[in-house]
Amino acid sequence: MKKSKKLLIILAGMLVLSSCTVAPLTGRRQLKLVSDESVVNSSVSQYRQFINEASNKGLVVNNTPDGRRLKNIGNRMATAVETYLRENGLSKKVDSLQWEFNLIKSNEINAFAMPGGKIAFYTGIMPVLQTDSGIAFVMGHEIGHVIGGHHAEGESGRLAAGVASTITDVFTGGNVISSIVSDGLSIGLLKFNRTQEYEADKYGMIFMAMAGYNPEDAIKAEERMLDAEKGGRSVEILSTHPNTEKRIEALKKYLPEAMKYYKK
């Protein structure tokens, strides 16, 4: 019982902490049991391993027209993001960003960003996005996950789920009730991930607008990915995202705000 009480205290502490952190730009409350800075080192290490393995296989294609194009867009986006952070009292986040942009040869329609400003695009997504502004939107979306603290939030969610599951096991002996609770937690975390995706879309539109790319093109890029998806192509970047049609509708709602940041 002493162990059970201790775990309950930990869980209660988590709930208190969850009301103390809000996402920049959107103001959404976040569960943050680990800091954004704490996930940078491990993320950079994982990214470096990924890039090294891809490079050894000859799959890093930065010295191509698309590779140079990606870096140019990335530099513009990085400047915009850092400007946003400094103007909004978030200069500390800039210190952890050591930007890197890599293009990986793969048919996958995918891209990702990791804490520390480490970004990778797969060649398969480039012809789908087509335009510089389309690339900027997806990059802004992925950077949005970093700036929004979604990686640390995800780690916090998994930590909280693990503790809650342990507490349940203590009181139920690991019976079927424990399984039901675990399933419920999984569903809750899945919904939360969708919230993060919508949030990253909003970040993406604003960051691309600040970098000089028309945020209207974000909607067009999303529509092209939807067409690819309907055409039977595996769009990996959409695999864990909300329904694409709903995302397009959300982008239309975000557009007026994003346009405030756009200067032609």
Distance CA 183, CA 165 (A): 10
pTM of the complete model: 0.74
Residues in the chain: 264
**How many CB atoms are closer than 10 A to CB 82?**
17
**What's the pLDDT at 192?**
38
Helix residue ranges, H only, 33-149: 40-56, 65-87, 91-95, 126-129, 132-147
**What's the pLDDT at 181?**
32
**What's the pLDDT at 95?**
82
**How many CB atoms are closer than 10 A to CB 40?**
21
**What's the pLDDT at 44?**
79
Q: Which 3 state secondary structure label does DSSP give 52?
A: helix
The backbone torsions φ and ψ at residue 243, rounded to the nearest 5 degrees and listed phi first, read: -50, 130
* Exposure b/e, 121-131, CB count within 10 A at least 16 = b: bbbbbbebbee
Query: Under a CB-based contact definition with an 8 Å cutoff, are residues 33 and 160 in contact?
Result: yes
**What's the pLDDT at 22?**
60
**What's the pLDDT at 177?**
34
Q: Which 3 state secondary structure label does DSSP give 120?
A: strand
**What's the pLDDT at 16?**
47
Burial class (CB in 10 A: 0-12, 13-18, 19+), 19: exposed
Under-50 pLDDT residues of the chain: 8, 16, 18-19, 160-192
**What's the pLDDT at 169?**
45
